[in-house]
Amino acid sequence: MGFLDAFLGKRKVAAPAATDRLFALTTAYVDLETAQGIKTRGAAGIVFQQLATADFAQILSDTEELLAGTGEETGSTVETQDDEFGYKWVIVRDDDMDDLVVSVNTVADNLSLGGYGDRILAAVFSFNDAQGKPLYLIYNYKRGNWYPFVPASGQQQRANEREFQLKAQLGGGLPFEEDIARWFPLWGIPI
């Protein structure tokens, strides 16, 4: 959004960033697993706004069907879920990181082709670290950047120290979000 857009009160929402920034996870994960002992929990989700338009539900069920079809070869399963804030999640379960990333990208692609790419917020991948503690990596579709999210016990508490450590550990391999003000938490992640 440039100055002129703000001056004239124009507002647009961004379409998804280039896909290679998402796919950076597939190569980065090799490193994560071997060097850091961070392993996938076999699930990934993509979260977006659901619009009450006639073709939205159709696009969504077509996408689900498509993923279920490819899932027969890869062994991944797919489900959709509404969260408490009214957003829709498509959740893919598969132990193979490449399959997870490809599936998430398929959802984003289908929504974009249907003209709903600007409704996608983020993709979330769930991991356990070497101590077995859960952590998430979140991909912000608007900015095309990754950041860590480690919820802590207590209502809406997060382990910032651990997140900073993760940034130091992962920062090289992934296009990372440098502005920590943009490390938005996502509460109630269903994976």
Report which DSSP code applies to 79.
E
Q: Based on CB atoms, which residue is closest to another protein, 90 or 97?
A: 90
Binding residue for another protein, selected from 89, 116, 136, 147, defined by CB under 8 A: 116
Give the range of 23-31, 65-73, 116-124, 160-168 binding another protein by CB under 8 A: 116-124
For residue 105, state whether it binds another protein (rule: CB under 8 A). Answer: no
For residue 9, state whether it binds another protein (rule: CB under 8 A). Answer: yes
- Residue with token string 């001056």: 7
- Over the window 48 to 87, marking each residue x when it contacts another protein by CB under 8 A and - when it does not, the resulting string is -x-xxxxxx-x--------------------------xxx
Report which DSSP code applies to 117.
G
Q: Which of 73, 15, 12, 67 is nearest to 45 (CA)?
A: 67
Q: Which residues pair with 123 in a beta bridge?
A: 46, 139
Helices and strands in the chain: count of H runs, count of E runs: 5, 8
At closest approach, how far in Å is the CB of 48 from another protein? 9
Site for another protein in 20-49 (CB under 8 A): 49
Contact present, 77 and 71 (Cβ < 8 Å): yes
What CA–CA distance (Å, rounded) separates 168 from 171?
A: 5
Can you give the binding site for another protein, defined by CB under 8 A? 1, 6-15, 49, 51-56, 58, 85-87, 112-119, 121-122, 140, 142-143, 154-157, 179, 181-182, 184-188
